[in-house]
Amino acid sequence: MGLPLYPSARRRRRRAASASALPPMSDPIASLRLTYAHATLDEGDVAADPITQFRAWFEAARASQLREPNAMTLATATPDGVPSARIVLLKGVDERGFVFFTDYRSRKGAELEANPRAALVFHWAELERQVRVSGHVERVSRAESEAYFATRPLGSRVGAWASHQSSVIASRAELEQREAEVAARFPGPDVPLPPHWGGFRVSPEGVEFWQGRPSRLHDRLRYVHEGEGGWRVERLSP
């Protein structure tokens, strides 16, 4: 019979057992990597303002026939700093900023009302590019929301009335019942804009353009807003 283990010895055995359960460094996930060599990004090649530069990169993504090049990660946070992120679709961009639409009662809507700041990330993997945007957020006008809402497919307009986004529901059947009720309420093609639905605009204060490069020595150029419509371009270490 072996001698009883003292507490310190038991702890050492538990640590050893835990360490043996860790995946080896040859784990397939750890070994996933690519070498980036598609393009370069130089200060002399970029536009004077980030919106013009973004449009150029966005058109390159569209020309490459990427699926949903307007998909972007939207990161928000509560006033005490609890973050959340999700993928949404860019629906407009001009000198005022980047626009997307949503249910104002959703988690992102509530967080943006309480803490009107956000970050966006576009990732175009095939082009080895990212764009990061950070700035202040405000609702777009009711007229802008109505104009966009009218372009949505009929089913999407009905769905905006049927779904209270981010709220808990008992079942899929409950959601489909709401959809049927809304369709009966608005039997024609003219489904109006719900009062709880509309757009947000992220007005950029900083925009970073990232181009993958070999040896992880990526090109990173950041536009920093300096007021009066002016922008400063600075290079960041990768």
Residues acting as catalytic residues: 216
206 with 50: CB under 8 angstroms?
no
**Closest among 147, 116, 142 to 196, alpha carbons compared:** 142
Torsion sign (Cα): 11, 12, 14, 19: positive
- Whole-angstrom distance, CA of residue 190 vs CA of residue 158: 10
- Whole-angstrom distance, CA of residue 55 vs CA of residue 50: 8
* C-alpha distance across the termini of the chain, in Å: 59
- Whole-angstrom distance, CA of residue 32 vs CA of residue 125: 14
